[in-house]
Homo-oligomer: A and B are copies of this chain.
Amino acid sequence: MSILVVGSVAYDDVTSPSGSMKGILGGAATYFSLAASYFTQVRVVAVVGHDFGPEQEKVFHQHGIDTRGIERASGKTFRWGGTYSDNLNEAKTDFTDLNVFEKFHPQIPKEYRDTKFLFLANIQPTLQANVKREMKHVQLTGCDTMNYWIKGTPKELAETLKVVDVLLINDSEAKMLAHETNLPRAAQKVLAMGPQALVIKHGEYGATIFFREGAFGIGRHPFRAPALPMEEVKDPTGAGDSFAGGFMGYIASQKEVNREVLKRALFYGSVMGSFAVERFGTERLQSLTRAEVDTRFQIFRELTHLS
């Protein structure tokens, strides 16, 4: 089944210990849709400026991604610059030029309105909730957010959390959102805010999914997917969005949402996140095959599998 992602398309300037790249195609919706495209048909709602041309659009089209929801506004595309030093888990933001993204008001094309799976990438929470409300046929909604909204717009975020099914955030975001330093307790507090399930991404340590009691007709026992210890991390940008793309894309490709599907989805999320960081920008996500994806899935599975 199709999945719709609403979020940013951007140009990134990235510096890491492996080098420096300027003006590479990025943005949450870009990473998400490329990662999800290995599992299902993807539709994008985003905004770009006059500097987004056929060459960039081709990256989406080569993966069968529907770009009719990418709005062209007058002005420049969102630009972000960041530097990773030895701690590859955290970028120092060098600049953020929101440009056309500043006035982004997601417009859902008529042709997208039957979409059954929705991912609300990291944008202002009220915009997220509005999109959810417009999408009447959605069966499962995933959602991302960040420290900026957790601190800056807690009330708006609380409203959004009431209408989403799965929230995907990282350790520090979960702790900040719950005002709780113990991760499983933080998870229970976040689940009490609305979502059926909470995926907490641990970077190089993988991710854990926590469930509300009775969510998806399954118990509340958490499940954890490990990540592969990576020798080569060139550019961590987009790892979380690629994780979300693998996770949500796999779910959208399945007939039903049950515990086993969610567990496998967590592994596929880890897999896509691990590919994303191997090259600068979306380079690795552009060149994958489904066979490579499944080979790494098996490696991740073996990584913790006792016979």
Q: Which A residues form the contact surface with B (CB < 8 A)?
A: 86-88, 181-185, 187-188, 202, 204-206, 208, 210, 221-226, 229-231, 233, 260, 263-264, 267, 301-307
Secondary structure at the A interface, as helix, strand, loop or mixed, is mixed
Contacts known (A87-B181, A181-B86); A304 close to B226, Cβ less than 8 A? yes
A180 to B, closest residue via Cβ: B86
Task: For A205, list chain B residues within 8 Å (CB).
Answer: 202, 205-206
Contacts known (A202-B205, A205-B202, A205-B205); A303 close to B224, Cβ less than 8 A? yes
In the complex the two chains form, what is the Cα distance from A56 to B187 in whole Å?
A: 39
Task: For A221, list chain B residues within 8 Å (CB).
Answer: 302
User: Within the oligomer, what is the number of copies of this chain?
Assistant: 2
Contact in complex: B223, A303 (CB < 8 Å): yes
Contact in complex: A263, B302 (CB < 8 Å): no
- Given contacts A86-B181, A183-B229, 8 further A-B pairs with CB under 8 A are A88-B181, A183-B204, A188-B231, A222-B229, A224-B226, A225-B304, A263-B306, A304-B305
Task: For A229, list chain B residues within 8 Å (CB).
Answer: 183-184, 187, 208, 210, 222, 224
In the complex the two chains form, what is the Cα distance from A19 to B24 in whole Å?
A: 51
Contacts known (A206-B205, A226-B224); A182 close to B305, Cβ less than 8 A? no
In the complex the two chains form, what is the Cα distance from A202 to B307 in whole Å?
A: 23
Contact in complex: A182, B231 (CB < 8 Å): yes
Q: Which 3 A-B pairs have the closest CB atoms?
A: A205-B205, A184-B229, A86-B181
Least CB distance, A283 to chain B, in whole angstroms: 19
